[in-house]
Structure formats: C-alpha cells, structure tokens
Amino acid sequence: MTIRGYVQGVGFRYATAARARSRDVSGWVRNNADGTVEAVFEGDDNGVGLLVSWCGRGPSGARVDGVEVEWEPARGERSFSVL
C-alpha cells in the first residue's frame, strides 16, 4: 500500500512495524522519495486488514490524506522490516 500526506518524520514506519509484529504480520515499510510511505503486509486476513485500516489514520502527529491499496499474491515474507 502507499500512504500519502504528512507521513514522514512522524514515526510512521516504526509504529507500523510495531503493530505488524504484534499481529504476527510479515512484510516491510519504507519512505519513498516523493514523501509517501509504502508498505507490504503478509499474514492472516484479520491482521492485514487491521493494519491497512490503521494506516488510514497513522500515528499521532501524522496526517493521512489518502491511501492506495493493491492486493497481490503472497511473496513469502517471514519477518517485518523497516527499510
């Protein structure tokens, strides 16, 4: 998914990683040069759904203006990384 708004410099990646790990969701999250945050989640439908929903709000200090979600087949991610 791609998250747009004031989402860099507010702890978005680390808050996302903490939530993903607590829900046993694998994948990664990174800042993009255009100011967006990009994330990939793999796990059970409930855990992934909760993360996608949370990313629509983000951590305190963030302002999410929009999200784009693209569903793909699982890639076999085994942990969660902040890139």
From the number of C-beta atoms within 10 Å of its C-beta (0-12, 13-18, 19+), residue 57 rates as exposed
Contact 68, 40 (CB under 8 A): no
Is 13 exposed, middle or buried (CB count within 10 Å of its CB: 0-12, 13-18, 19+)?
A: buried
Give me the active site residues, please: 13, 31
DSSP state of 3: E
